[in-house]
Amino acid sequence: MPVDSMWRFVRYVYKKEQYFMATIARSVLIVLTTLLMMACTHTPQENNAQTKRLTMVVAGDANYVEAHVKRVAWHPTLLTIRTANKMNDAQLQEHMRSALQSTLEQKGYQFVGVEEQPDMYVGFAMALESEISDSEILQKVGLVPGLSTIGVDKKFEKGSVLVALFKPQSQVATWQTLAQGFTEPGKHVADRDERFATLTQLMLTPLPAVQ
């Protein structure tokens, strides 16, 4: 092969290699960019999913409730709200009472006054983790869902909600359910009524309906 032809062939091969390497570099750059965008896109979604988790435990004698309970009244003392913003506690209590009463009435229970000798008292308690720890809940209630806070943004705080049914004159719950989820303290919730309704419906799903 003549020398000039050989050099033309070498330059041709060299250009092909440069083009091939440039193509690979562009492909790698596109892949890395795509992965980075996916990571940036998925992280908030994963965090959002984390904060929407709800863990719930149920304990008690559902058979007794089903057989003997129809008329209920609010517990004289167990209507407790414990949050960082004490001015908001009264509003939260009213939202919870309304949602809980609506859910129980949908299941056939009838609310009466304490003086009308109800079959059971209905009580509830709500608190943020900053106000009461899981160990304290376990000590007071005897059960705890144990919702994990790993991987959850610090702006969210774990909250606990207890709903319990008591026989009159008894300090021990006959049936109770305890749920834990995440909330963003201080943030106004526009659809608070809907959220409370959804929460109470989920928590009272295991409770037998009145036959």
Q: Is pLDDT above 60 for 112?
A: yes
Total residue count of the chain as it appears in this document:
211
Residue 167 sits at the vertex; the CA angle it makes with 100 and 61, to the nearest 5 degrees, is: 80
pLDDT in tens, 50-100: 556 678 889 999 999 999 999 999 999 988 887 766 657 788 888 899 999
Query: In this predicted structure, what is the pLDDT of residue 97?
Result: 93
Band the pLDDT of 13: cuts 50, 70, 90. Answer: very low
DSSP codes of every residue in 36-76: HHHHHHHHHHHHHHHHT--EEEEEE-HHHHHHH--EEEEEE
Band the pLDDT of 169: cuts 50, 70, 90. Answer: confident
- Amino acid identity, residue 129? E
Q: How many helices (H) and strands (E) does the chain have?
A: 5, 6
What is the arrangement of strands in the sheet containing 71-82, beginning at the earlier edge strand?
55-60, 173-183, 157-166, 120-128, 71-82, 110-111
Architecture of domain 53-203: 2-Layer Sandwich (3.30)
Type and span of the H or E element at 104: helix 89-106
Neighbours of 48 (CB within 10 A): 10
Mean pLDDT of the chain: 75
Higher local confidence (pLDDT), 127 or 186: 127
What residues are paired with 71 via a beta bridge?
A: 110
pLDDT in tens, 15-61: 444 444 444 334 433 333 333 344 444 444 444 555 566 788 899 99
CA distance 9 to 135: 79
Query: In this predicted structure, what is the pLDDT of residue 138?
Result: 79
Query: In this predicted structure, what is the pLDDT of residue 3?
Result: 44
CB 62 within 8 A of CB 207: yes
CA distance 119 to 72: 6
